């Protein structure tokens, strides 16, 4: 009784029907997740559904959705359960089929009854009378990389020519690779985390805010020394943005001058930092950085805070920054305004004071003409300390498994689909040779034709 | 500019279609050669335009690996057409068979027409930081090569279904002929849409036909669509006869469908899923994040995995298995275009 139940359960999990059903159910579930907004907050979902129905029914729909976790499909219990079933199905299928396949490699081949051969989809006949025909056929097959077995039967000599029979194992390699990838994902979700940190230029952080809002402490501090964004000329489209990072551990800097860019992450102690975003955030320690050139061309670096007075070197003039714009634009009435809060074209309004007389001038970072002041050339370099860099942070010990699984999957699939096993059966009887092949794929027929041509050619 | 050269190529693709139709109807070999010649000329011009565009990109990006013009929706559509037409010409030469050139030129025409109608930008654009990676070439190029292989398997599969279904009331037959009818209607509508547009950036799909502001035209268009679909349903056996007279048997179409998938599936797995995951891991900090594009790629992968399992393990044959190939490509189209047009996500470089 128990055995019967066991067998039933086993058959259920080893069936291709289950695999196909899982393909369909997992696909549908995943598709739902791309349509219904994936959000823990109810508002976006209700807003989405109120486009199609009244608000009150949208609220009801939301209740149903949250009941089945349809707003969090990919982490819901049923989706994880389906993936688990998928893995189980793969394992049981392999255990079910692999031994008999391995066994078939070991058992010595036997001649096939003619009935089976005659039922094969490909059959070609060649009328020929040649004593050495067997050697010729053997040679042709061996030159093509086939291994041959010869049997004597009632109907004549039966030759089995086989190539790439072991490539049937590649299917199991492909299946194994999926299991490895799933295992990698499981390890990642248990022993890893994902989060982000926004670090203002000139400051550091020693914790990460995880995606579900918790603070995860790090045993080192990540300091952003400088952040810079480059833009394509005359456009607000970023060309590149990068952070200059320093790692501080136990109060001492352990790594310096690390550059993180999009597509160029940085890893320290198994934790990887990715450049994700950036933004404008003025702070008290923000500093305007200028370079002043006197008449002889000598350079002076000047750093000043907002509204802090600084001296123009070798003159009696004092100056201060009295306004700032990250992206200065001119509107239709000729008034100046901020285009965006991104530092596309930073500009400062500098107020000069000489003997009580005040003059003002806008100096734009990217327009050298504006650097010329009545008191010499004052180049505005940057506003340091007013931007934050947004870093994605991740720890995922499962990644090596993902890479291994991916490589194995590629190898497995290529062998599976490009090196399919080829079997030919040849029966040599009096005056005639018959070729049989269990699969018809076009190529096979042509190969047989070539072999026949070769046989005939040698006879001529 | 490169896009003007490519438009000429697109025009030649569209011109090849009537050539292939006449060839199918008359079996005149000379006309067949002309049709192939027009399609090949289009391909050569297309390759030339592609190289020109590469040069334009190179002058901005100064990197060979990152100057392959496959960085936005327009370029990807164009690259897809190039792969598909080149793949088809290879098959035509290898199997000495011009039987489905009509449908290849229709899909090529529809795709090129879409670049006009969707108002996608055709100008060469500098790369956004996220695309500055050498994975761009490997991931995007291989993905589109696999899409092209799936497109070819779709055409052969749909012809196979129409050819081998006796009962006109069966779902498979109605479904396949409706798709073909709709494709032809879309092709013609796109030609009108693009021709009547005064400003190429404001053209909308179906604006001269189904979505026309004039009630009469839009009603007539709907009727025309239904009539087209009906004609394909009613006279689907003409396709069957034409194919038979070209000595095409259904086994050939079934095998070709399999070959397209057997070629496309591993390339899709490696280029689309694996390289995509590696790149996402480097750029976004996760190899898989259930982004709509990723999710739909997985669904596409499942459909074709289903095809292979049904074929090799369940031993499915005939129109039943070809239907999976048809559905597989419809899902592929959604993965490619639908996700960008209807859903939002991280793969927004591909949107308009």
Cβ partners under 8 Å of residue A56, min gap 6? none
Q: What are the pLDDT digits (tens) for A85-96?
A: 999 999 998 888
**% of chain A residues with pLDDT over 90:** 22
Q: What are the pLDDT digits (tens) for B140-160?
A: 999 999 999 999 999 999 999
Q: Would you call B266 and A418 a contact, using CB atoms and an 8 Å cutoff?
A: yes
* A194 phi/psi in degrees, rounded to 5: -135, 140
Nearest 5°: CA angle at A198, between A195 and A203?
130
DSSP secondary structure, A68-87, as one string: TTGGGGGGSHHHHHHHHHHH
Q: What are the pLDDT digits (tens) for A346-358?
A: 888 999 988 888 8
Q: Which of A177, A171, A168, A175 is nearest to A408 (CA)?
A: A177
What would the two tokens of residue B309 be?
A: 């399992």
Beta bridge partners of A228: A242
Q: Would you call B126 and A38 a contact, using CB atoms and an 8 Å cutoff?
A: no
Residue A314 pLDDT grade (very low, low, confident, very high; cuts 50, 70, 90): confident
What would the two tokens of residue B66 be?
A: 């990152």
Cβ partners under 8 Å of residue A401, min gap 6? A180, A181, A183, A184, A187
How many interchain CB pairs under 8 A, A with B? 109
Helix (H, G, I), strand (E, B) or coil at A251: coil
Range with the poorest average pLDDT among A85-89, A410-414, B206-210? B206-210
Q: Would you call B296 and A274 a contact, using CB atoms and an 8 Å cutoff?
A: no
Per-residue pLDDT, averaged over A30-55, amounts to: 84
Residue A119 pLDDT grade (very low, low, confident, very high; cuts 50, 70, 90): confident
Q: What are the pLDDT digits (tens) for B225-261?
A: 999 999 988 888 888 888 888 778 888 899 899 999 9
Residues of B whose CB is below 8 A from A185? 288
Mean pLDDT of all residues belonging to chain B: 87
Predicted local confidence at residue A263, as pLDDT = 84
Residue B350 pLDDT grade (very low, low, confident, very high; cuts 50, 70, 90): low
Helix (H, G, I), strand (E, B) or coil at A155: coil
Residue B200 pLDDT grade (very low, low, confident, very high; cuts 50, 70, 90): low
Helix (H, G, I), strand (E, B) or coil at A319: strand
Give the residue on B whose Cα is nearest the Cα of A402: B287
| Global pTM value | 0.85
Cβ partners under 8 Å of residue A376, min gap 6? A292, A293, A294, A295, A312, A315
Strands A310-311 and A318-325: antiparallel
Which residue is associated with the tokens 């259930």?
Answer: B290
Tell me, what DSSP letter sits at residue A167?
A: G
Per-residue pLDDT, averaged over A430-456, amounts to: 75
Q: Of the ranges A71-80, A323-332, B81-90, which is most confident?
A: B81-90
Task: Identify from A29, A33, A34, A420 which residue to disrupt to test chain B contact, counting B C-beta atoms within 10 A and taking the largest count.
Answer: A34
- What number of other Cβ atoms are within 10 A of residue A403's Cβ? 18
Helix (H, G, I), strand (E, B) or coil at A450: helix
- Using the predicted structure, report yes or no on whether residue A83 has a pLDDT greater than 60: yes
Min Cα–Cα distance to chain A from B120, Å: 18
By the 10 Å C-beta count (0-12 exposed, 13-18 middle, 19+ buried), A52 is classed as exposed
- Using the predicted structure, report yes or no on whether residue B80 has a pLDDT greater than 90: yes
ipTM over 0.90: no
Residue A409 pLDDT grade (very low, low, confident, very high; cuts 50, 70, 90): very high
What would the two tokens of residue A447 be?
A: 């190969």
Residues of B whose CB is below 8 A from A272? 285
Contact B165, B319 (CB under 8 A): yes
Contact A310, A319 (CB under 8 A): yes
Residue B324 pLDDT grade (very low, low, confident, very high; cuts 50, 70, 90): very high
The CA dihedral of A84, A87, A89, A91, to the nearest 10 degrees, is -140
Q: Is B171 on the interface with A (CB under 8 A)?
A: no
C-alpha distances (whole Å) from A198 to each of A203, A223, A278, B268 are 10, 11, 8, 36
C-alpha span between B143 and B272 (Å, rounded): 5
- Using the predicted structure, report yes or no on whether residue A403 has a pLDDT greater than 60: yes
Q: Is B40 on the interface with A (CB under 8 A)?
A: no
Contact A240, B129 (CB under 8 A): yes
Q: Is B296 on the interface with A (CB under 8 A)?
A: yes
Which residue is associated with the tokens 């490519």?
Answer: B6
Q: Would you call A399 and B126 a contact, using CB atoms and an 8 Å cutoff?
A: no
Right CATH for A117-163+422-456 from 1.20.950.20, 3.30.160.110, 3.30.565.10, 3.40.710.10: 3.30.160.110
A22-28's contacts with Cβ under 8 Å and 24+ in sequence apart are: A22/A82, A22/A85, A22/A86, A22/A89, A23/B302, A23/B303, A23/B305, A23/B306, A24/B302, A24/B306, A25/A82, A26/A79, A26/A82, A26/A83, A26/A86, A26/B302, A27/B298, A27/B299, A27/B302, A27/B303
Per-residue pLDDT, averaged over A137-161, amounts to: 85
**% of chain B residues with pLDDT over 70:** 95
DSSP secondary structure, A255-297, as one string: EEEEEEETTB-EEETTEEEEEEEEEE---TT-EEEEEEE-TT-
C-alpha of B329 from chain center: 9
User: Which of A263, A410, A441 is facing B282, going by the closest CB pair?
Assistant: A263
Mean pLDDT of all residues belonging to chain A: 85
**% of chain B residues with pLDDT over 90:** 41
- Using the predicted structure, report yes or no on whether residue A339 has a pLDDT greater than 80: no
Contact A144, A163 (CB under 8 A): yes
- Using the predicted structure, report yes or no on whether residue B352 has a pLDDT greater than 50: no
Predicted local confidence at residue B117, as pLDDT = 73
Residue B192 pLDDT grade (very low, low, confident, very high; cuts 50, 70, 90): confident
User: Which of A241, A261, A406 is facing B277, going by the closest CB pair?
Assistant: A406
C-alpha span between A160 and A157 (Å, rounded): 10
What would the two tokens of residue B249 be?
A: 């048997």
Predicted local confidence at residue B346, as pLDDT = 63
Contact B209, B195 (CB under 8 A): no
Residues of B whose CB is below 8 A from A418? 262, 266
Choice between A251 and A449, residue whose per-residue pLDDT is larger: A251
User: Which of A30, A261, A403 is facing B299, going by the closest CB pair?
Assistant: A30
- Using the predicted structure, report yes or no on whether residue A182 has a pLDDT greater than 90: yes
Residues of B whose CB is below 8 A from A241? 129
Q: Would you call A30 and B255 a contact, using CB atoms and an 8 Å cutoff?
A: no
Choice between B212 and A268, residue whose per-residue pLDDT is larger: A268
Predicted local confidence at residue B302, as pLDDT = 93
Predicted local confidence at residue B113, as pLDDT = 81
Predicted local confidence at residue A458, as pLDDT = 56
- Using the predicted structure, report yes or no on whether residue A254 has a pLDDT greater than 60: yes
Cβ partners under 8 Å of residue A334, min gap 6? none
C-alpha distances (whole Å) from A379 to each of A326, A343, A364, B239, B324 are 16, 16, 8, 75, 66
Cβ partners under 8 Å of residue A3, min gap 6? none
* B270 phi/psi in degrees, rounded to 5: -70, -55
Q: Which of A323, A331, A398 is nearest to A364 (CA)?
A: A323
Which residue is associated with the tokens 């090799």?
Answer: B312
Q: Alpha helices of A144-245 — where are they, by DSSP H?
A: 170-191
Nearest 5°: CA angle at A443, between B301 and B330?
25
Tell me, what DSSP letter sits at residue B165?
A: -
Residue B203 pLDDT grade (very low, low, confident, very high; cuts 50, 70, 90): low
Q: Write b or e for each residue in A415-449: b if 16 or more Cβ atoms lie within 10 A of its Cβ, otherwise e.
A: bbbeebebbbbbbbeeeebbbbbbeebeebeebbe
C-alpha span between A379 and B96 (Å, rounded): 71
Helix (H, G, I), strand (E, B) or coil at A222: strand
Q: Would you call B295 and A410 a contact, using CB atoms and an 8 Å cutoff?
A: no
Q: A-contacting residues of B 236-275, CB under 8 Å?
A: 251-252, 255, 258, 262-263, 265-266, 269-270, 274
Predicted local confidence at residue A460, as pLDDT = 44
Which residue is associated with the tokens 């013009």?
Answer: B69
């Amino acid at each position: 009784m128990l055995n019967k139940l066991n067998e039933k359960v086993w058959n259920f999990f080893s069936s291709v029907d289950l695999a196909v059903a899982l393909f369909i159910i997992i696909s549908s579930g995943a598709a739902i997740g791309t349509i219904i907004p994936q959000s823990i907050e109810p508002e976006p979902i209700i807003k989405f559904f109120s486009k199609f129905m009244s608000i009150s029914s949208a609220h009801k729909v939301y209740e149903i959705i949250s009941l089945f976790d349809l707003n969090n499909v990919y982490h819901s219990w049923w989706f994880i359960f389906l993936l688990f079933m998928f893995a189980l199905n793969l394992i049981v299928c392999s255990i079910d089929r692999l031994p008999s396949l391995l066994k078939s490699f070991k058992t010595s081949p036997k001649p096939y009854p003619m009935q089976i051969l005659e039922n094969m989809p490909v059959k070609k006949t060649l009328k020929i009378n040649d004593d050495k025909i067997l050697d010729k056929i053997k040679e042709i097959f061996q030159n093509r990389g086939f291994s041959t077995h010869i049997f004597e039967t009632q109907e004549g000599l039966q030759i089995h020519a086989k190539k790439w029979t072991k490539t049937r194992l590649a299917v199991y390699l492909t299946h194994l690779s999926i299991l490895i990838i799933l295992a990698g994902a499981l390890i990642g979700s248990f022993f890893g985390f994902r989060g982000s940190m926004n670090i203002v230029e000139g400051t550091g952080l020693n914790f990460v805010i995880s995606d579900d809002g918790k603070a995860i402490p790090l045993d080192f501090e990540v300091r952003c020394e400088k952040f810079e964004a480059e833009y394509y000329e005359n456009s607000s489209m970023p060309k590149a943005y990068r952070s200059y990072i320093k790692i501080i551990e136990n109060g001492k800097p352990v790594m310096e001058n690390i550059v993180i860019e999009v597509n160029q992450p940085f890893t320290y102690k198994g934790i990887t930092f990715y450049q994700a975003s950036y933004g404008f955030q003025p702070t008290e320690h923000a500093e305007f950085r200028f370079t002043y050139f006197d008449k002889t061309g000598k350079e002076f670096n000047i750093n000043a805070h907002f509204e802090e007075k600084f001296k123009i070197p070798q003159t009696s003039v004092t100056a201060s920054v009295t306004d700032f714009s990250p992206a200065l634009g001119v509107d239709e009435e000729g008034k100046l305004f901020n285009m965006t809060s991104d530092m596309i074209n930073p500009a400062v309004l500098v107020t000069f004071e000489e003997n009580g007389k005040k003059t003002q001038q806008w100096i734009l970072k990217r327009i050298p003409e504006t650097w010329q002041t009545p008191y010499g050339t004052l180049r505005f370099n940057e506003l340091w300390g007013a931007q934050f860099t947004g870093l994605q942070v991740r720890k995922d010990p499962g990644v090596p498994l993902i890479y291994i699984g991916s490589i194995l999957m590629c190898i497995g699939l290529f062998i599976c689909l490009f090196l399919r096993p080829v079997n030919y059966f040849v029966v040599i009887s009096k005056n005639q040779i018959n070729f049989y092949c269990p699969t018809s794929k076009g190529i096979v027929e042509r190969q047989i034709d070539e072999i026949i041509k070769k046989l005939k050619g040698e006879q001529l | 500019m490169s896009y003007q050269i490519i438009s000429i190529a697109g025009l030649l693709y569209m011109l090849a279609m009537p050539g292939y139709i006449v060839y199918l109807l008359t079996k005149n070999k000379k006309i067949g050669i002309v049709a192939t010649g027009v399609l090949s000329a289009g391909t050569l011009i297309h390759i030339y335009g592609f190289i020109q565009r590469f040069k334009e990109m190179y002058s901005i990006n100064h990197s060979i690996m990152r100057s392959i013009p496959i960085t936005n929706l327009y370029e990807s559509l164009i690259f897809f057409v190039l792969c598909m037409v080149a793949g088809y010409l290879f098959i035509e030469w290898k199997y000495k068979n011009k039987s489905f050139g009509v449908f290849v030129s229709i899909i090529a025409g529809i795709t090129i027409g879409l670049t006009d109608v969707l108002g996608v930008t055709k100008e060469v654009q500098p790369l956004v930081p996220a695309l500055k990676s050498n994975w761009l070439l490997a991931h995007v190029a291989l993905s589109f090569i696999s899409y092209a292989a799936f497109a070819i398997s779709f055409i052969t599969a749909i012809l196979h279904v129409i050819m081998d279904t006796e009962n006109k009331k069966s779902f498979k037959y109605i479904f396949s002929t409706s798709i073909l009818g709709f494709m032809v209607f879309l092709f013609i509508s796109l030609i009108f849409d693009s021709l009547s547009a005064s400003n190429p950036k404001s053209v909308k799909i179906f604006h001269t036909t189904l979505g026309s502001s004039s009630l009469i035209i839009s009603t007539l268009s709907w009727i025309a669509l239904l009539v087209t679909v009906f004609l394909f349903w009613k006279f689907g056996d003409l396709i069957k006869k034409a194919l038979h007279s070209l000595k095409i048997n259904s086994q050939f179409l079934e095998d070709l469908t399999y070959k397209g998938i057997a070629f496309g599936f591993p390339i899709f797995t490696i280029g689309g899923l694996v390289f995509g995951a590696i790149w996402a891991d480097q750029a976004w900090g996760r190899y898989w994040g259930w982004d709509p594009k990723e999710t739909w790629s997985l669904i596409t992968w499942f459909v074709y995995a289903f095809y292979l399992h049904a074929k090799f393990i369940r031993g499915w044959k005939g129109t039943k298995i070809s239907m999976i190939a048809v559905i597989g490509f419809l899902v592929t189209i959604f993965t490619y275009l639908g996700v960008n047009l209807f859903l939002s996500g991280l793969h927004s470089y591909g949107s308009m």
